[in-house]
A and B are shown apart, each in its own frame.
Chain A
Amino acid sequence: EVQLVESGGGLVKPGGSLRLSCAASGFTFSNYAMNWVRQAAGKGLEWVSYIDSSTSHTYYADSVAGRFTISRDNARNSLDLQMDRLRAEDTAVYYCARDGGGSYSPNDYWGQGTLVTVS
């Protein structure tokens, strides 16, 4: 069974840092690209960042570029999101999501999310 479990959320002051992790199991992690997606309270889903299966390519939403860093450890089946210079508007539930692969790259599995509060 595919499982994605996020951790590392919490309360942080503006300008602070936080590191989120996503533990993957039930599939060959190294074969799949991964994403972070967030949802602020009362708002819709916002794509945040993408990393390909080999860590060669990473992409970021303009809203987080230069402040967030996505990384992965294929040996540990783990995906991370280092968040620096946090702002109030980064407050959200953060989800990791598997890129289902193929041409269309749907997010076919998601974690339950971890809440980040910047205040």
Chain B
Amino acid sequence: DIQMTQSPSSLSASVGDRVTITCRASQSVSTYLNWYQHKPGKAPNLLIYATSSLQSEVPSRFSGSGSGTDFTLTISSLQPEDFATYYCQQTYILPYTFGQGTDLEVK
């Protein structure tokens, strides 16, 4: 199975900050990398698919990049509603493994 490792595991930031979360795969996943936002008690929400494609209705402050084994999710200017947990997921090969998550908290 492909292992996905996110860093950092948690991150404190303020509204307006630029934030970057990284995701590393244990082997190449090409560009088959997706990012999700998850808030307590809610369904996870797809933000980015295929490494850098913005899902419909997701604000443009979210962006993704990378290929192979190293990927990043960037939020250009944090908004109050962005404090949540973020997950990467590879869909290159089953099982479609997730990273362990990054908790984005208010500083």
Binds A, one of B12-20, B31-39, B66-74: B31-39
A58 CA to B56 CA, complexed, in Å: 28
Mark the stretch among A18-26, A73-81, A84-92, A106-114 that contacts chain B: A106-114
Q: How large is the interface on B (under 10, 10 to 19, 20 to 34, 35 or more residues)?
A: 20 to 34
Known: A100-B49, A107-B36, A111-B43. A47 touches B101 (CB 8 A): no
Contacts of B45 in A (CB 8 A): 110
B34-52 interface with A by 8 A CB criterion: 34, 36, 38, 42-46, 49-50
**Secondary structure call for the A interface:** strand
Note all chain B residues with C-beta closer than 8 A to A35. 96
Query: Do the beta carbons of A107 and B97 come within 8 Å of each other?
Result: no
Q: Which residues of A contact B95 (CB under 8 A)?
A: 47, 50, 59-62
What are the residues of chain B within 8 A of A103 when measuring CB–CB?
A: 32, 50
Known: A44-B101, A105-B32. 6 other contacts (CB 8 A): A50-B94, A104-B53, A107-B44, A107-B46, A108-B55, A113-B43
